[in-house]
Amino acid sequence: MWGGNDCFYRTDILMKIETLKEIIKKKLSNEKFAVLTNLSNGSSEMFKLGTPISKNFINYKIEIENYYNLKKNGIIDGTEIFIQNYIKPVEVIIVGAVHIAQYLIKFLKDLNFNVIVVDPREYFTTKQKFQNIKIINEWPEAFFKKIQTNSNTALITLTHDPKIDEPALKHALKQKFFYIGALGSKKTHEKRCKRLKENGFNDEETDSIHGPIGIQLGGKSASEIALSIVAQLILETNKLNN
């Protein structure tokens, strides 16, 4: 039979279990949120901008919001409030299941990006090449009609085929993806941009496409090109987060 302090501890445990369940639920839905813990009394709660804060944390609302916006974890200076931020992973859509994509996937997964590969050419997407990765064997135009994307999404096109790459580029430009990169030579990219302008996109929009893609490291191999692309993506991701 529970009573006295036992009831208090049981309630505290149940609250922690409920908080843990909520953390798991929000992480699965890729929501951005934080968990606040008052180290002086052990109370904790979820936090998102614009949501009410309980009396355990209300006195530190400004400090909490600052740490949240800066995506900082730890004890907030001058308080006994611990904040743990859970940041929504960046979604990277790779169009083209080519050799470079294999290295890109490895780099990106190690860096905790969410990765989807889209290529209507099934012979490029064998299980031997791509394991433990979501492969979509559809034309990009059809694929983008089925998912929600926004300015937190990145696009990397690798096929060199305008019929596959350019519908994806058009979608990314319209949705204002924070990063858009297209593989190909400078001459290929100039022709690509000319076609996009003929389809109604302006100079500012086509200039936002990184092409030729990647930071110029001088590498020629597939792994080196992939590394240059990831380096550029990280640079733009850090701009997004700051």
pLDDT tens digits, 158-215: 999 999 999 999 999 999 999 999 999 999 999 999 999 999 999 999 999 999 999 9
**For residue 23, what pLDDT is reported?**
61
Question: Rg for the chain (alpha carbons), in Å?
Answer: 23
**For residue 146, what pLDDT is reported?**
92
Mean residue pLDDT across the chain: 85
Domains in the chain: boundaries = 5-86, 91-241
Measure the CA–CA gap between 120 and 159, rounded to whole angstroms.
11
**For residue 202, what pLDDT is reported?**
96
Q: Which CATH number fits domain 91-241: 3.40.50.720, 3.30.465.10, 3.40.50.280, 1.20.120.10?
A: 3.40.50.720
DSSP type of residue 210: B
160: tokens are 């060199």
DSSP type of residue 55: T
Q: Give, to the nearest 10 degrees, the angle between helix 162-175 and helix 186-198.
A: 60
The ranges of the chain with pLDDT < 50 are 1-15
> Within 111-153, where are the H helices?
140-144
- Specify the residue for token string 């190909």: 184
pLDDT tens digits, 119-131: 999 887 776 677 7
Distance of CA 231 to the CA centre of its chain: 15
**Coil, helix or strand at residue 94:** strand
**For residue 12, what pLDDT is reported?**
46
**For residue 206, what pLDDT is reported?**
96
